[in-house]
């Protein structure tokens, strides 16, 4: 996953939750502080996040980037705890 992919997932989560600040947890959180980390740190295609100002929704959003063989498809899924 590249930083632009993470930004896409954040926008999708914002649209779904009407929240606009998120805490990114897990391996993709490195993309917030290091825009171009080494390839081995960008292998995951999932990003775990929760809205900063909505404590009841903590651990409720997961985004997944899916790449098809012929094209790239971006999807985001919001899960409720």
The pLDDT value recorded for residue 64 is: 61
How many Å apart are CA 14 and CA 71, to the nearest integer?
Answer: 25
Give the domain range for residue 48.
3-78
Confidence of residue 28 (pLDDT cuts 50, 70, 90): confident
Nearest to 61 by CA among 12, 7, 5, 8: 12
Q: What percent of the chain has pLDDT over 70?
A: 67
Q: How many domains does one find in the chain?
A: 1
pTM: 0.69
Confidence of residue 79 (pLDDT cuts 50, 70, 90): very low
The pLDDT value recorded for residue 55 is: 63
Confidence of residue 61 (pLDDT cuts 50, 70, 90): low
């Amino acid at each position: 996953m590249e930083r632009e992919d993470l930004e896409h997932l954040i926008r999708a989560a914002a649209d779904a939750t009407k929240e606009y600040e998120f805490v990114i947890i897990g391996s993709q959180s490195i993309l917030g502080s290091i825009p171009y980390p080494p390839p081995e740190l960008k292998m995951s295609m999932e990003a775990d996040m929760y809205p900063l100002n909505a404590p009841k929704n903590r651990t409720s959003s997961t985004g997944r980037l899916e790449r098809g063989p012929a094209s790239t498809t971006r999807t985001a899924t919001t899960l409720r705890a």
